Amino acid sequence: MHLSRPMYEGLPWLYIGGGLCALGISYVIGDSHAVGVLAGLAGLAAVLGGVVVLLRRRDYRQLRSQYGQPELTQRQDQE
C-alpha cells in the first residue's frame, strides 16, 4: 500500500491527536467505569506510538543524511 507523502507525514500526528482525545474522554468518564480505563490505556498507547514513529523517522533521516543517500522523493522523481 502506498500513501501520499502528506498522508504519510501526518499519520503520527493523527495517532497523537487521537490518543489525546481518548485520554480526554477517559478523564471525563472517570476511573470508576471500565470504559474510561480502556479509553485511557488506548489513548496512552496511541500517543506513545505516535511519538515513537516520529522519533524513528527522525533518526532514520539523520542516518541517511550521514551516509549521503538521497531522499526517497528524489528517487521517485527520477523514475
> For residue range 30-48, what is the model confidence (pLDDT) as tens digits?
877 888 889 999 999 999 9
Q: In the chain, how many domains are there?
A: 1
For residues 44 and 18, the answer to whether their CB atoms sit within 8 Å is no
**Nearest-angstrom CA–CA distance, 70 and 64:** 8
- Looking at residue 19, its pLDDT comes to 96
- Looking at residue 48, its pLDDT comes to 97
With cut-offs at 50, 70 and 90, classify the pLDDT of residue 70.
low
Domain that holds residue 43: 17-66
Helix, strand, coil in percent for the chain, rounding step 5? 80, 0, 20
Flag whether 8 is in a domain: no
Flag whether 79 is in a domain: no
Q: Which 8-state DSSP code applies to residue 32?
A: T
Answer yes or no: is pLDDT of 71 > 70: no
- Looking at residue 47, its pLDDT comes to 97
The DSSP annotation for 47-58 comes to HHHHHHHHHHHH
